[in-house]
Amino acid sequence: MTPAGKLFAAAALIEGVTWAGLLIGMLLKYGTGTTELVVWLFGRLHGAAFLFYVAVSLYAWVKLRWPLWTVLLALLAAVPPLVTVPLEMWFRRIGLLSERSA
C-alpha cells in the first residue's frame, strides 16, 4: 500500500470511529436522556475527522490517479454513518490503495 493509500485507510477508520462515537452519544442524549457530553465531544471530533477524510480523499484521488467515480464514491461514503470503513476495505481489495493504481 502506498503512503497515500495508508493515509486514506487511516482517515476512513478515524471517520468511522468518530461516527460511531457520535451515534452512541446521540443514543445517550436522546434515548436515555443521561448525558450530552458524548455528543459534545464526538460532534467536534467527527466534524474534524469528516473534513480530514474529505481532504485525504481528494489528495488520494490526485496522488493515486483514481478515476472520477472513485473519489465521488469516497466522498459520498462520508455522508451515511460507518460507510467509509467498508469502502476502504473494498478499495484495498481491488487495488486502489496500492502501487498498481498509482
Whether residue 7 is contained in a domain is answered as: yes
How confident is the model over 13-40, as pLDDT tens digits? 999 999 999 999 999 989 888 888 889 9
**Does residue 102 lie within any of the structural domains?**
no
CA dihedral angle for residue 26, residue 30, residue 36, residue 42, rounded to 10 degrees: 10
* Residue 76 resides in a domain: yes
Q: Which amino acid is at 49?
A: A
Scanning the structure block, which residue is given the C-alpha cell 477524510? 53
Q: What is the structure's pLDDT at 35? A: 86
Residue with cell 474534524: 48
What is this structure's pTM? 0.88
How many domains, the chain?
1
pLDDT value for 100: 59
**22: domain range?**
3-97
* pLDDT above 70: percentage of residues in the chain: 97
- Does residue 31 lie within any of the structural domains? yes
pLDDT band at 51 (very low <50, low <70, confident <90, very high): very high
